[in-house]
Amino acid sequence: MTYKLLFVCLGNICRSPAAENIMNYMIEEQGQSKQDIFCDSAGTSSYHIGSAPDRRMSAAAFQNLGIKMYGQARQFVVSDFQEFDMILAMDRSNYRNILALDPTGEYQDRVHLMCDFCTENTLKEVPDPYYGGTEGFNRVIDLLIDACGGLLKHLEENNIKS
């Protein structure tokens, strides 16, 4: 059975597609099958629906990891609660927006902050680099490499094959 991860930020063009692509890269680097873990991303807003990942984030991903970013922005929908096993919010604002769509709290245990899986960084949220410069995008890539590595380790420790 495929374990499904959903990475969520505000517009789904910077942080969450970067997390999705970095996680897919790490799964592949370990020589594992994407059949075991499926990754997707979404945004809590509708600002960029249909857009490709931000070119600045794509450049940072390529510069830091040599990976090309894929994806098309979409908005988080209530059915994502049933579709995904784990939903990873990039910051507290998005975390709250996701939980607001689950008023009964039925799926609350599936929603986590991405930085909860960091093993080296102490930041509690992935900062939004959208209005900043190159340094902010590179910082997000470094943070997501740490968080994705910790998430992958968490999945392995909990016998979720990658």
15 is catalytic: yes
Q: What is the dihedral of CA 117, 122, 126, 130, to 10 degrees?
A: -150
Q: Is 128 a catalytic residue?
A: yes
Angle between helices 55-65 and 134-157 (to 10 degrees): 60
**By the 8 A CB rule, do 67 and 34 touch?**
no
Catalytic residue (one of 40, 80, 128, 146): 128
List Cβ<8 Å contacts ≥24 apart for 125-128: 125/90, 125/91, 125/92, 126/9, 126/15, 126/19, 126/90, 126/91, 127/91, 128/9, 128/10, 128/14, 128/15, 128/90, 128/91
Annotated active-site residue in 14, 15, 54, 148: 15
How far is Cα 111 from Cα 62, in angstroms, rounded to an integer? 29
Catalytically active residues, by annotation: 9, 15, 128
